[in-house]
C-alpha cells in the first residue's frame, strides 16, 4: 500500500538534485505525484503517480536520480494512457509486458544519451534493435522510434512476408522479436514498472490532461535547452515527444462509415408518405390534389466493401490480419458484405467473407507469390460487385488505369509513396 497524500521521503534527495541540475526534468517532476510504497519494485508509475518502493533507497544516489528521471518521463510522455489506447486498439493480442519493455528501452536510451546513470543492467533501444529486430541502431534511433511504433514492430511475427497460405509467415526455429525481447528483459532483471491507464481520448478530462502535458513538455524542454544542460539538450531528437498521431484503424473506421452510409434515390413505384397524407386531406376537404411526389429508397439494399489485397508481397501477414479484423468489425456494425480480392498484375481470386469464419477462409486461401501489380482489374471487379467502397492494400507501385466512376477508393499504403491520381490515402504506418 502507498501512503495517500504524502510526498515521498525516499525520492526527495533525487528530486532536489534534478531540480538543481536538470531544469527540464526538475520542472516536469513538479507535475507528478511522488509517493512512498511499502513494497513492490524500486519505482513504478501509475497514471501521474510515481511509487517508490523500499529498494529505491538501497540504490546509489546517482542511480536514484536516473530512476526518478525515468519515471518522470513515463508520466510526461503519457505512456500509461498510450498503453491503454494500444490495448484497446489490439484487443486480446496486446502484450502489456512487451509494451513496458519498449517504453523502458526508449527511456533508458534517452537518459543514457543525456549522461544519466541507471541501475544495471539496463535494457536499451540499441539492444532491442540489434538483438530482437536485427536492425542497425544508427545515430538517429531516438529520432526514428517512438514507443507505439517500437511495440508494433516487436509484436510482429518474425517473418512478416506471406509465404504460401494464410496471412502468417512460416517461421523457423528462430525466436520472434517478441520472444527475443522478453528473453533480453528477463536477463536484465526486468520487472513491469508501468500500469496501463484510461486512454486520453476516452474522456474530456484525459484529452485535457494530454494537452496540458504537451504544454509542460514544450516549456520544460525549452527551459533545459536555454540552460544548456540536462535532457533539454536532446529533447528535439526524441520521436516520442512528437504530437500523437491518429491510429490508422480510427481513420479507416471513419472513412468506411462515411462511405457505407446508405444513399437515397427516388422510386416511382410508390408515392411519398407526406404526399399520401396531403392527397387524403385534399380529397376530404375538396381542395386541389397536390402534384405527385415519388418516394425514396436506399440506393443499395446491402452495402458492400471490396477489399483488394496486393498479393505481390507488399502486405505482411500481421498487417493483413489486423486490417481484416478491423474491417470485419466495421462490417458487422453497419451490416455490410466484405468481398476479398487477391491480385497482382491480374485478378487472381475473390471471395465473400463470412463474418463468423473469415479467419478460417483467409488461412485456407491460396495467395499468389511474386508478380507485378496492376490496379485496374481489382477496381473493375469492385465496380462489377456494385461495391459502396473499394479499399486497396498496396505499396502503390503499378499502373492505375482510369478512375472508377462512382466508386470511392481508399489506398491503404504499407510504405510512403507519391500521391495516386485518384482516391484517398490511408497510411498504415501509424
In this structure, what C-alpha cell is assigned to residue 93? 493480442
Burial 382-402 (b: 16+ CB within 10 A, else e): beebebbbbbbbbbbebebee
**Residue 271 phi, psi dihedral angles, 5° rounding:** -80, 165
Same-domain check for residues 283 and 207: no
Residues 6+ apart with CB under 8 A from 124: 105, 108, 109, 112
Same-domain check for residues 189 and 316: no
Residue for cell digits 474522456? 203
Q: Name residue 295's beta-bridge partners.
A: 267
Same-domain check for residues 26 and 77: yes
Same-domain check for residues 317 and 289: no
- 429 SS3 class: coil
Could you tell me the CA-to-CA distances from 34 to 3, 111, 210, 294 in Å, in that order?
10, 20, 19, 69
Q: Domain range for residue 127? A: 12-243
Same-domain check for residues 140 and 112: yes
Q: Are 177 and 154 in contact (CB under 8 A)?
A: yes
Residues 6+ apart with CB under 8 A from 188: 121, 122, 123
Residue 117 in domain: yes
CATH number of 390's domain: 3.40.50.410
Same-domain check for residues 165 and 273: no
pLDDT in tens, the chain (430 residues): 444 557 899 999 999 999 999 999 999 999 999 999 998 889 999 989 999 999 999 999 999 999 999 999 999 999 999 898 888 777 777 899 999 999 999 999 999 999 999 888 889 999 999 999 888 877 788 888 889 889 988 987 654 444 333 443 444 567 888 999 999 999 888 888 898 888 877 677 777 888 888 899 989 999 998 988 889 888 778 888 866 566 666 677 777 777 766 556 677 777 888 888 888 888 888 888 888 888 776 555 568 888 888 877 666 666 666 667 667 666 666 677 888 888 888 898 898 888 777 777 777 777 776 677 889 999 999 999 988 888 888 878 888 889 998 888 988 887 777 888 998 888 876 5
Same-domain check for residues 45 and 167: yes
Closest residue by Cα to residue 319 from 161, 95, 82: 161
What is the chain's length?
430
Largest CA distance in the chain: 99
* 51-59, long-range: CB < 8 A, 24+ apart: 51/2, 52/8, 52/10, 52/11, 56/10, 56/11, 57/10, 59/119
Could you tell me the CA-to-CA distances from 213 to 85, 209, 370 in Å, in that order?
17, 6, 47
Residue 20 in domain: yes
| pLDDT value of position 163 | 39
Residue 346 in domain: yes
Same-domain check for residues 347 and 293: no
CA atoms within 13 A on the CB side of 379: 21
| pLDDT value of position 293 | 83
Q: Are 293 and 275 in contact (CB under 8 A)?
A: yes
Residue 27 in domain: yes
Same-domain check for residues 151 and 234: yes
Strands 33-36 and 304-310: unpaired
pTM over 0.85, yes/no: no
How many distinct structural domains can be found in the chain?
3
| pLDDT value of position 322 | 65
In this structure, what C-alpha cell is assigned to residue 320? 493483413
Same-domain check for residues 161 and 106: yes
* 326-331, long-range: CB < 8 A, 24+ apart: 326/249, 326/252, 326/253, 327/252, 327/256, 327/391, 328/353, 328/355, 328/358, 330/252, 330/253, 330/256, 330/257, 330/260, 330/305, 331/305, 331/355
Residue 193 in domain: yes
Per-residue DSSP letter, 288: P
Query: How far apart are the C-alpha atoms of 345 and 356, rounded to whole Å?
Result: 31
Round the CA-based radius of gyration of the chain to a whole number and report it. Answer: 28
Residue 249 in domain: no
Same-domain check for residues 86 and 229: yes
Same-domain check for residues 293 and 324: no
Residue 252 in domain: no
Amino acid at each position: 500500500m502507498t501512503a495517500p497524500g504524502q510526498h515521498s521521503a525516499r525520492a526527495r534527495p533525487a528530486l532536489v538534485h534534478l531540480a538543481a541540475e536538470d531544469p527540464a526534468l526538475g520542472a516536469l517532476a513538479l507535475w507528478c505525484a511522488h509517493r512512498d510504497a511499502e513494497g513492490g519494485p524500486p519505482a513504478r508509475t501509475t497514471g501521474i503517480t510515481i511509487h517508490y518502493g523500499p529498494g529505491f533507497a538501497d540504490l546509489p544516489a546517482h542511480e536514484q536520480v536516473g530512476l526518478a528521471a525515468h519515471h518522470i518521463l513515463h508520466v510526461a510522455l503519457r505512456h500509461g494512457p498510450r498503453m491503454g489506447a494500444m490495448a484497446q486498439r489490439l484487443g486480446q493480442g496486446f502484450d502489456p509486458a512487451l509494451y513496458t519493455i519498449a517504453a523502458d528501452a526508449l527511456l533508458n536510451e534517452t537518459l543514457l544519451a543525456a549522461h544519466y546513470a541507471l541501475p544495471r543492467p539496463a535494457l536499451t533501444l540499441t539492444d532491442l534493435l540489434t538483438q530482437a529486430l536485427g536492425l542497425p541502431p544508427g545515430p538517429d534511433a531516438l529520432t526514428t522510434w517512438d514507443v507505439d511504433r517500437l511495440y508494433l514492430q516487436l509484436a510482429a511475427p518474425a517473418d512478416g512476408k506471406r509465404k504460401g497460405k494464410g496471412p502468417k509467415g512460416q517461421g523457423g526455429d528462430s525466436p520472434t522479436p517478441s520472444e527475443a525481447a522478453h528473453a533480453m528483459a528477463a536477463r536484465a532483471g526486468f520487472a513491469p514498472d508501468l500500469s496501463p491507464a484510461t486512454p486520453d481520448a476516452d474522456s474530456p478530462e484525459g484529452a485535457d490532461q494530454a494537452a496540458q502535458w504537451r504544454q509542460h513538455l514544450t516549456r520544460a524542454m525549452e527551459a533545459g535547452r536555454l540552460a544548456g544542460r540536462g535532457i533539454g539538450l536532446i529533447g528535439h531528437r526524441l520521436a516520442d515527444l512528437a504530437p500523437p498521431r491518429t491510429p490508422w484503424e480510427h481513420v479507416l473506421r471513419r472513412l468506411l462509415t462515411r462511405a457505407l452510409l446508405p444513399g437515397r434515390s427516388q422510386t416511382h413505384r410508390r408515392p411519398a408518405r407526406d404526399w399520401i397524407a396531403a392527397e387524403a386531406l385534399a380529397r376530404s376537404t375538396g381542395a386541389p390534389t397536390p402534384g405527385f411526389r415519388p418516394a425514396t429508397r436506399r440506393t443499395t439494399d446491402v452495402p458492400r466493401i471490396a477489399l483488394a489485397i496486393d498479393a505481390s508481397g507488399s502486405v505482411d501477414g500481421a498487417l493483413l490480419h489486423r486490417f481484416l479484423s478491423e474491417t470485419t468489425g466495421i462490417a458487422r456494425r453497419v451490416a455490410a458484405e466484405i468481398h476479398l480480392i487477391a491480385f497482382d498484375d491480374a485478378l487472381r481470386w475473390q471471395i465473400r467473407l463470412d463474418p463468423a469464419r473469415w479467419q478460417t477462409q483467409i488461412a485456407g486461401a491460396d495467395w499468389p507469390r511474386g508478380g507485378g501489380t496492376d490496379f485496374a482489374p481489382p477496381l473493375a471487379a469492385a465496380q462489377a460487385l456494385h461495391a459502396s467502397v473499394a479499399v486497396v492494400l498496396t505499396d502503390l507501385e503499378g499502373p492505375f488505369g482510369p478512375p472508377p466512376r462512382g466508386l470511392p477508393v481508399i489506398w491503404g499504403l504499407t510504405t510512403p509513396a507519391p500521391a495516386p491520381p485518384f482516391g484517398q490515402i490511408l497510411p498504415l504506418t501509424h
